[in-house]
Amino acid sequence: MIKIGKLDILINNAGISAFKPFLSLSTDEWDQVINTNLRSVFISSREAAKVMNNGGRIINMASTRAIMSEPNSEAYAASKGGIVSITHSLAASLQPNGITVNCISPGWIHVDQNEELKETDHLQHWSNRVGKPEDIAKACIYLADPENNFINGQNIIIDGGMTRKMIYEE
């Protein structure tokens, strides 16, 4: 085995969904979402922690779906809620090794440059805009900073205020 350097930062960012009616969601579909989204965090974090030196950073990507839902999102919501939970559990377990573990829960992040957004899409957010990938990247850079060791076991929600906004249909 050849050992090259060390591992300082792990960002767990795998994710799939199976948005379909709960009563027709198969066990295999459930398992695929849970295994891809949550089991991968467990395995990757365990293996990374074995080779991280003091000051390592693990950053997990969850979702605002961990704390708010819509119909037919059971597998995805459960997997992302599990990521929030394993984050604080790992933070407790890995703190003796100097490894911090935090989580980011993005809200609506616009990644499809071919999809046109409407003004009403932006106005649903207190920030008056839909999120961009750079918003999440900046949070990762902040959490990965080696001097940033006082944030540990936290879930940072980055959603332009959307999950705190009370929305009433008119």
Per domain, the residue ranges of the chain are 7-164
Tell me which H or E stretch contains 90: helix 74-94
pLDDT of residue 20: 94
Edge-to-edge strand ranges of the sheet holding 7-12: 7-12, 52-61, 100-106, 155-158
Alpha carbon distance 77, 65 (integer Å): 5
Structure tokens at 103: 């989580």
Would you state the pLDDT for residue 1? 56
Look at residue 119 in the predicted model and tell me its pLDDT: 84
Residue 99: phi and psi, rounded to 5, are: -95, 130
pLDDT < 50: residue spans in the chain: 169-170
Q: Is CATH 3.30.420.40 the right assignment for the domain spanning 7-164? A: no
What pLDDT was estimated at residue 41? 98
Q: Would residue 76 show up in a list of annotated catalytic residues for this protein?
A: yes
Q: Which of 52, 58, 76, 107 is catalytic?
A: 76
Q: What are phi and psi of 149, to 5 degrees?
A: -110, 10
